[in-house]
């Protein structure tokens, strides 16, 4: 298959592109390099430096590559930026995704795998772990924009026959995550600790998140090539791990001597969320494999090695 991976110069989608290529698919990567890095794009993938907000540029990509499948990871992913500038967030995540869907319609794309956010769209949960039936009540514009696109996908599916699959990610971590702040406390902490700097935890550190190792997320993207049409799936372990627990685990792995620094909590952040992924287990045959401690150890090894890939 010819698969276009948006955001493929970023942390998660570069791993997805690698895996698709290893399976024998023809892959192209679309990324504007605003947060991604050219050096993590697989060398055998075609690369297009194009912004989702540029419909003419997208048209050239679709005309040149003629994708059969689109895997859509590209997004504005910073919750705090979405609070500060919701219009910017919506222009990328909503309008940009609509441009992409229009090109899919014109080009006759068969399947569209969309990366949504289980960590942000449910808001402060009414029950845990949150399943796909949980009410959608985002606490920040980022969660609103990611969920809004799910509705556009459903319309494209019903009116034009596009095969859609939605994967709702928890907190993904692992090699290639940007320690400068690409939506990952694990990478931020590791990057600072390796430089001898003490990280800051905003709030009391008891915020709970569902941490999923990146290669487990990649596996869901592989399964979504063939299964799950018309459905949305949570991914995750269904277990909450606190920021304090992350910090202490990394202190042990890195033999870091300093206690954490605390600061005031930040707007738009929810206090606890972890996800019920039973539907993905039943219908996709997906399950997480890499336990948190093992995943942290692999991530630390990657950052110590200092290689972009």
Active site residues: 142
Q: Which two tokens stand for residue 305?
A: 């090695």
CA gap 19, 42 in Å, rounded: 10
Q: Which two tokens stand for residue 7?
A: 């955001």
CA gap 244, 26 in Å, rounded: 42
Q: How far out from the chain centre does Cα 270 lie?
A: 17
Rg (CA), the chain: 19
First to last CA, the chain: 24
Q: Which two tokens stand for residue 231?
A: 């459905």
CA gap 82, 138 in Å, rounded: 12
In the block, tokens 């940009």 appear at 96
Q: How far out from the chain centre does Cα 5 lie?
A: 13
Angle of helix 243-254 relative to helix 292-305, nearest 10 degrees, comes to 50
In the block, tokens 């630390």 appear at 300
**235 exposure class (CB count in 10 Å sphere: 0-12, 13-18, 19+):** buried
Angle of helix 185-194 relative to helix 292-305, nearest 10 degrees, comes to 50
Supply the DSSP string of 72-133, one letter for each residue.
E------HHHHHH-HHHHHIIIIIHHHHHHHHHHHHT--EEEEEEEHHHHS-S-SSSSB-TT
In the block, tokens 């996709």 appear at 284
The CB density around residue 119, as the number of other CB atoms within 10 Å, is 26
């Amino acid at each position: 298959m010819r698969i276009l991976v948006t955001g493929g110069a970023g942390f998660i989608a570069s791993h997805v592109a690698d895996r698709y290529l290893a399976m024998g698919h023809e892959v192209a990567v679309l990324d504007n390099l605003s947060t991604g890095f050219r050096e993590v794009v697989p060398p055998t993938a075609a690369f297009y430096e194009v912004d989702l907000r540029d419909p003419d540029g997208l048209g050239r990509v679709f005309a040149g590559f003629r994708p059969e499948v689109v895997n859509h990871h590209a997004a504005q992913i910073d919750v705090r930026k979405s609070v500060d500038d919701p219009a910017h967030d919506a222009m990328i995540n909503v309008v940009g995704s609509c441009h992409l869907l229009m090109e899919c319609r014109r080009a006759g794309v068969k399947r569209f795998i969309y990366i949504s956010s289980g960590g942000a769209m449910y808001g402060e949960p009414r029950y845990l772990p949150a399943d796909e039936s949980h009410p959608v009540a985002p606490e920040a514009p980022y969660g609103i924009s990611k969920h809004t696109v799910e509705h556009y996908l459903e319309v494209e599916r019903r009116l034009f026959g596009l095969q859609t699959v939605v994967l709702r990610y928890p907190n993904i971590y692992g090699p290639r995550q940007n320690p400068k702040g690409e939506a990952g406390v694990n990478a931020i902490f590791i990057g600072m600790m390796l430089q001898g700097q003490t990280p800051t935890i905003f709030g009391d550190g008891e915020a709970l998140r569902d941490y999923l190792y990146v290669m487990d997320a990649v596996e869901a993207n592989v399964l979504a090539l063939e299964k799950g049409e018309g459905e949305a799936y949570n991914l995750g372990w269904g277990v909450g791990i606190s920021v304090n627990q992350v910090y202490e685990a990394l202190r042990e792995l890195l033999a870091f001597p300093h206690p954490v620094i605390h600061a005031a909590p930040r707007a738009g952040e929810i206090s606890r969320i972890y996800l019920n992924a039973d539907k993905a287990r039943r219908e996709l045959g997906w399950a997480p494999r890499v336990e948190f401690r093992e995943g942290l150890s692999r991530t630390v090894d990657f950052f110590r090695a200092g290689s972009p890939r």
